[in-house]
Chain A
Amino acid sequence: MRAVIALLSGAFFGAGLHISGMTDTTRVRGFLDITGAWDPTLAFVMGGAILPMLLAWRLTRTRKPLTGGDFPAPPAQEITRPLIVGSVLFGIGWGLVGLCPGPAVASISYGGWQGAVFLAAMLAGMWALPPLRRALDSRTRAA
């Protein structure tokens, strides 16, 4: 049951990316191009996606997940250095190419070697972060 729900959720996400035009990096980079020919499409996508989620978060107050367990705890409010540094780094990569993790994964289904190269590098980065972080942490402690 969980797997079926997850499969459907992923299908909704994939369909939404496909239909919204967010698979096209020129549109995403167009949204970020605030001093050029600004393309607001991404703001419509974000706004459209937030609407059902507002309702969903509201429902979590009085319900339990359909397949059991609990909903996530209330969000942490602490603004940490990794949150800022990581988001800035992500923004730089996003601005350079125009792909974020969702569309990068979906892009392998519609071909194009650029998406595949980007995805491989992204997976390598995700894989490399935990050991990289440990190395940096131990260096900070030693200093």
Chain B
Amino acid sequence: MDIAWVYGLLGGLLIGCGGALFLLGTGRIMGASGLVGGIVDGTGRDKGTTLAFLLGLIGLPALLSLGGWQVDTQATPQLALLVFGGLAVGVGTRLANGCTSGHGVCGLSRFSLRGLVATLAYIGAGAATVTALRWGLGL
């Protein structure tokens, strides 16, 4: 068993605890695209709570990084890919009303059919994209 899987499981449990605390404490669903999107387009309610959540989401990794646990996104340096990818993720998650955390983690755990369909669709499209990129362009 790869040690990365253990870290994955531990990190996943922490993410789920965050979602559980947010739900049981505030009655809201921990979906990153909904929380961020509601601030960006102004449609979100209870904005103070959302901003406090985002502060924690950015602040804790910042503390870990400052404390010496550095990570890196290793993301592509190709500007066009970053911009097109970001636009697609922004438009897509708002159109679908959820992303990996909302439809995936929070939706699947309440046996939501919409969450399941969305999750299969974005994983399927993601897998097709990675495969097409590797075969077509060698990326």
Instruction: Find residues 42-76 in chain A having any chain B CB closer than 8 Å to their own CB.
Output: 42, 44-57, 59-60, 63-72, 75-76
Which chain B residues border A42 with CB–CB below 8 Å?
Answer: 8
Number of A-B contacts (CB under 8 A): 487
Docked-complex contact B60 and A15, CB < 8 angstroms: yes
| Pairwise interchain contact A44-B32, C-beta atoms closer than 8 A | no
Residues of B within 8 A of A120 (CB): 86
Contact of A142 with B by CB under 8 A: no
> Contacts A26-B74, A89-B92: A75 and B83 contacting too (C-beta < 8 A)?
no
**Smallest distance from the beta carbon of A100 to chain B beta carbons, Å?**
5
B52 contacts which of A6, A57, A133 (Cβ < 8 Å)? A6
Report whether A121 and B85 are in contact in the complex, using a CB–CB cutoff of 8 Å.
yes
When the two chains form their complex, are residues A104 and B89 in contact, meaning their CB atoms are under 8 A apart?
yes
State which of A4, A64, A110 has its C-beta within 8 Å of the C-beta of B65.
A110
Contact A85-B85, Cβ < 8 Å, known A41-B8, A49-B15, A66-B24: no
For B23, the chain A residues whose CB sits under 8 A away are 53, 56-57, 60, 65, 71
In the complex, chain A residues whose CB is within 8 Å of the CB of B12: 16, 20, 44-51
**How many residues of B are counted as interface, with CB atoms below 8 angstroms from the partner's CB atoms?**
110
CA distance A60 to B61 in the complex (A): 29
A47 touches B9 (CB 8 A): yes
Number of interface residues of A (CB under 8 A): 116
CB distance from A73 to the nearest CB of B (A): 11
Contact surface of A with B, Cβ cutoff 8 Å: 2-27, 29, 32-36, 39-42, 44-57, 59-60, 63-72, 75-79, 82-112, 114-115, 117-130, 132-133
Known interface pairs A10-B54, A11-B56, A34-B127; 9 further A-B residue pairs with C-beta atoms within 8 A, sorted by A's residue number: A2-B26, A9-B26, A16-B13, A50-B108, A52-B13, A83-B118, A90-B93, A96-B84, A96-B129
A-B pairs with lowest CB-CB distance, top 4: A125-B90, A48-B12, A20-B11, A10-B56
Residues on B lying within 8 angstroms of A by beta carbon are 2, 4-30, 32-33, 36-37, 40-41, 43, 46, 48-50, 52-62, 64-65, 69-77, 79, 81-97, 99-101, 103-110, 112-115, 117-119, 121-131, 133-134
